[in-house]
């Protein structure tokens, strides 16, 4: 396996392209507009510069890796010689089903089609193709060049062969792959999102304030970041939509999103990306400032 395509050049797509290129693969990076691709290339370059400064890779290795990335705005052109396609487009069921239908037509017959989805059923995505045995989840974590885990998700029809290839490939990237079955939230978000939701309930019910909740989890459980800060970084809209997938997928009220989370998303307070969630994110400031909404 030498040639692969990455669909979507956003937060995850540029990180995935970066890592594959760093480990010697030829990467076709695909997005809807050239300006998105140019932005992604600039981000990859900046992140590789940081790796050079830290001594992780040499300047020569950086240049070689960047030289292995080509960009495409035409999906069929980008995937036509690929052994593997990793889809990291926007988290939307219709977009993904549509993409996989088209990918099935455009990618070589033997190519494996992987999705980086956080919450959409791999089984459902696979069923949109005529090669469900070759469809699999490859759930990288953010930031991709730094985080070691890849959750490898087997859909109902994913073959042993496909799984073995993806597990071995993940190790070639010096990541740690973990094989899981396809049920709502897989393992990572099935455990993480209820914890975040419970932290929001604790705030909503007045058990403790924002900083107090995060401090308990940081100092008491040795988490590097409190659950409310983490929710802000993931995006509160993303957390809400994953909780809805869990709630609907299991039909269990224990996954019902906290009304405070719903209100915050509806009001446009989606966390770091909108400048405010549980904390306020002021440009250039390194201090965490609790949002005025939650100050006692």
Ligand X SMILES: NC(=O)c1ccc[n+]([C@@H]2O[C@H](COP(=O)([O-])OP(=O)(O)OC[C@H]3O[C@@H](n4cnc5c(N)ncnc54)[C@H](O)[C@@H]3O)[C@@H](O)[C@H]2O)c1
CB atoms closer than 10 angstroms to residue 293: 14
CB 66 within 8 A of CB 45: yes
Closest approach, Cβ 30 to ligand X, in A, equals 5
CB 258 within 8 A of CB 227: no
Among 63-71, 111-119, 126-134, 248-256, the segment contacting ligand X (CB under 6 A): 111-119
Site for ligand X in 228-247 (CB under 6 A): 234
Counting contacts by CB under 6 A, is residue 5 touching ligand X? no
Phi, psi of 279 (to 5 degrees): -120, 160
- Nearer residue to ligand X within complex by CB, 72 or 202: 72
User: What is 106-127 written as a DSSP string?
Assistant: HS-TT-EEEE--SSS-HHHHHH
- Nearer residue to ligand X within complex by CB, 92 or 263: 92
- Nearer residue to ligand X within complex by CB, 13 or 277: 13
| Catalytic residue ranges | 118, 139, 151, 189
Counting contacts by CB under 6 A, is residue 36 touching ligand X? yes
Q: In the set 4, 5, 6, 8, which binds ligand X (CB under 6 A)? A: 8
d(CA 203, CA 61): 48
CB 281 within 8 A of CB 295: no
Among 7-15, 105-113, 167-175, 257-265, the segment contacting ligand X (CB under 6 A): 7-15
Counting contacts by CB under 6 A, is residue 99 touching ligand X? yes
Length reported for the chain: 296
> Taking CB positions, which residue lies at the least distance from ligand X?
10
């Amino acid at each position: 396996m030498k040639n692969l395509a990455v669909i979507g050049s956003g937060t995850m797509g540029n990180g995935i392209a970066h890592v594959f290129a760093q480990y010697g693969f030829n990467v076709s990076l695909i997005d809807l507009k050239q300006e998105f691709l140019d932005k992604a290339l600039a981000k990859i370059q900046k992140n590789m510069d940081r790796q050079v400064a830290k001594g992780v890779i040499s300047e020569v290795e950086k240049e070689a890796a960047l030289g292995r990335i080509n960009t495409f705005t035409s999906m069929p052109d980008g995937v036509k010689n690929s052994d593997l396609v990793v889809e990291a487009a926007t988290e939307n069921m219709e977009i993904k089903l549509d993409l996989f239908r088209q990918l099935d037509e455009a990618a070589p017959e033997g190519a494996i089609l992987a999705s980086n989805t956080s919450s959409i059923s791999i089984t459902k995505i696979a069923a949109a193709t005529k090669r469900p045995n070759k469809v699999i989840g490859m759930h990288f974590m953010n930031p991709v060049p730094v985080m070691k885990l890849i959750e490898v998700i087997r859909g109902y029809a994913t073959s042993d062969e496909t799984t073995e290839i993806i597990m071995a490939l993940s190790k070639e990237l010096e990541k740690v792959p973990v094989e899981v079955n396809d049920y709502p939230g897989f393992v990572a978000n099935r455990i993480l999102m209820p914890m975040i939701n419970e932290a929001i309930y604790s705030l909503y019910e007045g058990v403790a304030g924002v900083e107090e909740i995060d401090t308990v989890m940081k100092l008491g459980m040795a988490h590097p970041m409190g659950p409310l800060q983490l929710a802000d970084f993931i995006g509160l809209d993303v957390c809400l939509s994953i909780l809805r997938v869990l709630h609907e997928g299991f039909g269990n009220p224990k996954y019902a999103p906290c009304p405070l989370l719903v209100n915050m998303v509806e009001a446009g307070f989606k966390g770091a990306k909108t400048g405010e969630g549980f904390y306020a994110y002021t440009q250039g400031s390194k201090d965490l400032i609790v949002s005025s909404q939650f100050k006692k």
